[in-house]
Structure 1
């Protein structure tokens, strides 16, 4: 992505012909509603904040501060299925998420994990396909799927292929096998925990390169993600950091420095790691 100049309106094209913003605000374990100019918000049934996130979006769209006259279709809202149990439960759950958000439809809906086994995963994916056909969801995807799970889903000859796989990715957990498979199959990689939950902000390589590029360690790690073609989901509850994390235009990490950052991989898992489950 040479010459990258990101702003919060920049978008990435999906395999289904639609597009979404290149950077999303993650709201995991967040009860507040400040989006600070972000045009994409990542929620989930398990986060218990779909209603708050949707209400915040609607409040902003109708507020005097919406000077750009953004409309509902300009804001990208993501949610995720809490568990893979059955087609019927998933279908009902998706409808409930749409209702909870109050947004009329969900832009991107993901199976939150591969847990539940092959049969349940495929049943729940069928529910996502039907929700897309019924207009409740615009785009479907998965989260925390390993190569095995992706191959299984694609081999089932789905009516609609997953457009996104949201996994933990950062310089200390590069997930090269999964990200390469996704990119080979036109599946956009969304990188959650792109800042490694601040566990490596003081790593000497990160601090040295952030000084070199005149940016914060967080901005450096977000830019690394963007230059790999990922869609990062940085999370913060501090307004200043939320704004700074979205302000990564104006610099590009050089090739040698990207390789150095790639070499930091230590398979650091900061939360859960379902990618190898059955």
Structure 2
């Protein structure tokens, strides 16, 4: 079974790496087996609702705050939805995806239909930058991300910048998807050596960091982190456990089985 699934998996991974760019995936991703198009391109409402729920559980006030979102994608959809609900300011950070003005206008129009007057009535502001370097120290009260941290090659460098940008006593809310993004095979990517992954199968933005890697990086950068939501697939991991690459075979199986997690991080006042 693992041999057959690996044949399909490797074929799809090679096609993804060498034939499909991110721009192509945005257009045809809905037709690729086991692939999911970024939710932010479809409807930002569920993302903002999830942020709101996490903030409520963490006791974090969000109305009128200065928010930075990591990896906002080709449009500022989450920002429009956020401002329409809560006001304040929202700045998206997106170093890779080019801005799609047509998509952004369509999403903003859709948000306006759901929240009449929301984009102007609360006096909010939506901005966009390519890198955290462009933001002033202490300029954010809240930093959020949705299915982004799993794509960050150097979490420590990222969290150091977040620590600089975040005001004293500020909070981060991160929703992380630790599955392989060919979702039929959530853990197959853990069966390949680092060399095979880096040279042939990695699409360029899936470094295979696990939950404990992120928690260690957050602690290293001065954050107090708490996992407030976590889902796991122990049966899915058990199916590939005999074939785990040496880099993962000796690691905590409970952590490896994590599929998604929501992490609340606080910068001490």
Do these two structures clear the TM 0.5 threshold for a shared fold by scoring above it? no
* Larger RCO (alpha carbons 8 Å, 6+ apart): 1
Structure exhibiting the larger radius of gyration computed from Cα positions = 2
TM-score normalised by length of structure 1: 0.30
TM-score normalised by length of structure 2: 0.30
Q: Which has the higher helix share?
A: 2
